[in-house]
Amino acid sequence: MLLEPWQLKAIATLLLLSPFVPMLFQGEEWGARTPFLYFTDHEDLELGRLVAEGRAREFSSFSWSGAVPNPQAADTFERSRLDWNELSQSAHADLFDWYCRLSALRGGKKPGKSRALVKFDQERRWLRYVHRGLLVVCNLSPQAQRVPLPAGEWQLLLRSDESGQRATAEMPAQTTCVYASRSTA
């Protein structure tokens, strides 16, 4: 299942601005659609055969339909190559720009012992956290709603929807915003 652009931006924000070291996977930063298949290049043909058979047995427990890609086949490797032309498509370029802007906000900050202050409302479907002077707010609801901000003054830096950079009291549906504390900005 492919995710919606607003979901990808929320996930990226939570990943890149969390207190942990983010790890991105091949093409994640632009929503690459190419699969990343398990592939090998064992020179020992018997080992390659055993690996391929083992993968097929493993996948049978997943109710896999069709042939399991052979890790030793050149086609399996070729199908895993990124399609760099995707970056010329607006949806992929927009997500890549979002990742770049989040990466710039994260900067060279190293993980430390600072704690993120997290609040969420599962029923209303919003989440927010403050970490190192940044406030991340995600309205995961299909409706616009007011998400309470923590005490302090906050300057809007990024907003995932297309409506511009103006802060409002009510947060649009399925939107992620990033603010900076005015005291640390």
- Do 69 and 152 reside in the same domain of the chain? no
1 confidence band (pLDDT: 50, 70, 90): very low
- Do 150 and 130 reside in the same domain of the chain? yes
Distance between CA atoms of residues 81 and 142, nearest Å? 35
- Do 150 and 59 reside in the same domain of the chain? no
- Per-residue model confidence (pLDDT) at position 34: 92
Q: Please check whether residue 77 lies inside any domain of the structure.
A: yes
- Per-residue model confidence (pLDDT) at position 165: 54
Q: With pLDDT > 70 as the criterion, what percentage of the chain qualifies?
A: 91
Burial code (b: 16+ CB inside 10 Å, e: under 16) for 144-174 equals eeebebeeeebeebbbbbeeeeeeeeebbeb
How many independent structural domains does the chain possess? 2
Q: Please check whether residue 129 lies inside any domain of the structure.
A: yes
Q: Please check whether residue 110 lies inside any domain of the structure.
A: yes
Q: Please check whether residue 66 lies inside any domain of the structure.
A: yes
pTM here?
0.83
- Per-residue model confidence (pLDDT) at position 108: 62
Q: Please check whether residue 63 lies inside any domain of the structure.
A: yes
- Per-residue model confidence (pLDDT) at position 51: 96
pLDDT at residue 109 tops 70: no
Q: Please check whether residue 25 lies inside any domain of the structure.
A: yes
Q: Are 119 and 141 in contact (CB under 8 A)?
A: no
